[in-house]
Amino acid sequence: MARGDSGPALMRAEPMEAETATELPKGGGWWFEPKWDGFRCLAFRDGDLVVLQAKSGKPLTRFFPEVAQAIAALPPQRFALDGELVILVDGRPSFADLQQRLHPAESRIRRLAAETPATYVVFDMLEAPGGRDLRSWPLERRHAKLEAFLQRYGSDRLTGTPGTGDRAAAEAWLKGGLIEGVVAKRLDGAYAEGERAMVKVKQARTADCVVGGFRYASGSPLVGSLLLGLYDAAGKLNHVGFTSGFAGVDRPALTKRLEALAGGTGFTGNAPGGPSRWSTERSAAWTPVRPEIVVEVGFDHVSDGRFRHGTRLIRFRPDKAARQCRLDQLAQGRAPERRGASPR
């Protein structure tokens, strides 16, 4: 049941989720926003108490003191927001810088908060200043409240996300390769906690990569994954990720071919990491090969010059020379301008 202005402050909620689709929904009544490369975060304020809550429900407050302090300094004493914590480096979101914040040492967190401050990019309001519960309101009305809030209290640490009701414009965001994806929301939709009431479409891109090494599958004499590389301007082959899907591939023949190339230079720039507390000796070991095999892979996102997730093997490219596979294939532009935009 929705509360009015006199109930207890909203200090915890389940974030509304999104289902994955291959294309943006058609027809009227949709609002489109960029999918940010950050940490999903609900922010709650009740007087001196500020809580930053991760998508998992775990607290994020101590890891982002600069954002918590910015929220605590606002005149409204009570409100609840939904958004994404991002750190922009040269205009691009850096997920690696976000991950560095998840550290037990407070001194390190404080130093990083000063050196690479995070921004809270807000896209929804669950509770308005004064305590009005907005979760049952349609998105269009919630956004009107949010934009008025951001116009008055927005800052470098607290800002709105761009948005559009134009599907063609949202498609252009996807094709531009500047963002992780696009999220579509119904303008007449309530904030459905824990439900997949939104639609997300991730950008689909491909790259031609050089195989610089491989790992055997666990407990098997056959190849388990190919380690992928791209050449930089200095001519060094840098490790950028892996692919492990071999549907339709003759793995014994591929393994034999890789073993024949084993012992080459492998990666001459950034190389795959070694053992860690999460890996076994077997899973961390990899075999370098002469950089002669080229593959085309599909990927959805790049973070700090590497594929964020595993890639999808599309085909082998015997027609392409390894030296033609360069890092500029992964080039990213600047993130969309962060600003409030109410659906109208």
Is residue 204 a contact partner of residue 21, using CB atoms and an 8 Å limit?
A: no
How far apart CA 38 and CA 28 sit, in angstroms, is 29
**Which three-class secondary structure state does DSSP give residue 101?**
coil
Provide φ and ψ at 267, rounded to 5°. Answer: -85, 125
Tell which residue, 9, 201, 15, has the closest CA to residue 122.
15
CB 293 within 8 A of CB 313: no
Name the CA radius of gyration of the chain, rounded. 23
Report the alpha-carbon distance of residue 240 to residue 246 in Å, rounded. 19
Residues in the chain: 344
Q: How far apart are CA 181 and CA 271, in angstroms?
A: 28
CA distances from 210 to 225, 231, 264, 294, 328 (A): 13, 9, 13, 5, 14
Q: What type of residue is 286? A: W
Q: Is 35 a catalytic residue?
A: yes
Separation in Å, CA 218 to CA 206, 224, 278, 281, 289: 28, 7, 15, 11, 19
DSSP 115-130: HS--EEEEEEEEE-TT
Three-state secondary-structure class, residue 284: helix
Q: Please, are residues 243 and 309 in contact by the beta-carbon 8 Å criterion? A: no
Exactly one of 35, 185, 200, 202 is catalytic; which is it? Answer: 35
Token duo for residue 296: 């085309």
Please state the φ and ψ torsions of residue 307, each to the nearest 5 degrees: -70, 130
Locate 137 and state its tokens: 């309101």
Active centre residues (catalytic): 35
